[in-house]
């Protein structure tokens, strides 16, 4: 994104550029959709594309966001019908696969976008997270109270792991990821039920705090660290 155009024509050009890029991605695939091709198809010069989008990755990020919101629209109705937690989890997974499948070859690029931007503070994460919140709060029976609050976050982080498996899945039609997600749903549901037992519950808390310690929301608060161990390579 990088720039929001001042004039109307600017906005139109930017929109057209984005639209063309998405079409091009769908029609020609990732490698074939070079910046030159996209720009040409949109009827602008190469460097002009860079006036509106700071990088190719930028456009990919946009595509990813579009797909996720599409997934959201597609399955948020099903999540409020009072189905079981397992069924809801499966709904989110399968809608995700369905929406993403045509762009599977973008997997590595998607992953790069996901991993390089801040984990919590962006629109994409918000969309994903809200999906998992609905999946939990709309489930009947509701999961145990003790974990109800943290379950969405757990599911969200889990889904990211599964997404990264999907991204590099080489099996035909991504069958492996499909299987993986379908199997994950009942296991998580079972896990949620077992969390009524204190032993299992404490394990859940361990795992969650683990996930947190690695992906903390607050990131670069090493501020003006008093004695920073800076290793400078010669």
Partner DNA sequence: CCGAGTTTTTGAACGCGTTCAAAAACATGT
Partner DNA sequence: ACATGTTTTTGAACGCGTTCAAAAACTCGG
Q: Which residues of the chain form contacts with DNA (CB under 7 A)? A: 3, 5-7, 9-10, 13, 32-37, 44-48, 50-51, 54-57
Check residue 149 for interaction with a copy of itself (CB under 8 A).
Answer: no
Cβ contacts of residue 56 below 8 Å, gap of 6+? Answer: 35
Cα 151 to Cα 142: distance, rounded to the nearest angstrom: 11
Q: Which part of the chain contacts a copy of itself (CB under 8 A), choosing from 2-10, 38-46, 135-143, 164-172?
A: 164-172
* 226 is a contact residue toward a copy of itself (CB under 8 A): no
At 180, list the tokens: 């993986």
37: partner contacted, choices DNA, a copy of itself, none (Cβ within 5-8 A by kind): DNA
- Minimum distance of DNA from residue 151's CB (angstroms): 37
Integer Cα distance of 96 and 215 in angstroms: 23
d(CA 87, CA 182): 10
Taking residues 116 to 145 in sequence order and writing x for each that binds a copy of itself by CB under 8 A, - otherwise, the string is x-----------------------------
The listed partner (DNA, a copy of itself, none) that binds 45, CB under 5 to 8 Å by sort, is DNA
Task: Strands of 99-147 (E only): list them.
Answer: none
Buried/exposed code over 156-181 (b: 16+ C-beta within 10 A; e: otherwise): bbbbbebbbebbebeeeebeebbebb
Sketch the per residue contact string, 17 through 46, with a copy of itself: x for CB under 8 A, - otherwise: ----------x-------------------
Tokens 């190719």 locate to 56
Residue 12 binds a copy of itself (CB under 8 A): no
CA–CA separation, 39 and 41 (whole Å):
5
d(CA 215, CA 101) in angstroms, rounded, equals 28
Q: Which residues bind a copy of itself (CB under 8 A)?
A: 27, 94, 97-98, 101-102, 108, 112, 115-116, 161-162, 164-165, 167-168, 170-173, 175-180, 182-184, 187, 190-191, 194, 197, 199-200, 203, 206-207, 209-210, 213-216, 219-220, 222, 225, 228-233
């Amino acid at each position: 994104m990088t720039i929001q155009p001042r004039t109307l024509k600017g906005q139109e050009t930017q929109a057209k550029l984005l639209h063309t890029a998405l079409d091009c991605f769908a029609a020609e695939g990732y490698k074939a959709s070079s910046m030159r091709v996209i720009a040409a198809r949109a009827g602008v010069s190469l460097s002009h594309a860079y006036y509106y989008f700071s990088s190719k990755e930028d456009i990919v990020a946009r595509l990813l966001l579009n797909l996720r919101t599409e997934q959201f629209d597609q399955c948020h109705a099903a999540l409020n019908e009072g189905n079981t937690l397992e069924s809801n989890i499966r709904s989110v997974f399968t809608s995700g696969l369905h929406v993403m499948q045509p762009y599977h070859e973008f997997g590595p690029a998607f992953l790069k976008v996901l991993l390089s931007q801040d984990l919590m503070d962006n629109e994409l994460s918000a969309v994903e997270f809200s999906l998992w919140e609905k999946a939990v709060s709309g489930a009947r029976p509701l999961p145990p109270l003790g974990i109800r609050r943290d379950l969405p976050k757990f599911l969200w982080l889990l889904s990211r792991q599964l997404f990264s498996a999907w991204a590099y899945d080489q099996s035909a039609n991504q069958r492996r990821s499909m299987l993986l997600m379908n199997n994950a749903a009942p296991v998580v549901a079972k896990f949620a039920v077992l969390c009524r037992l204190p032993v299992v519950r404490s394990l859940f808390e361990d795992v969650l705090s683990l996930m947190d310690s690695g992906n903390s929301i607050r990131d670069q608060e090493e501020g003006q660290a008093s004695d920073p161990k800076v290793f400078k390579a010669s």
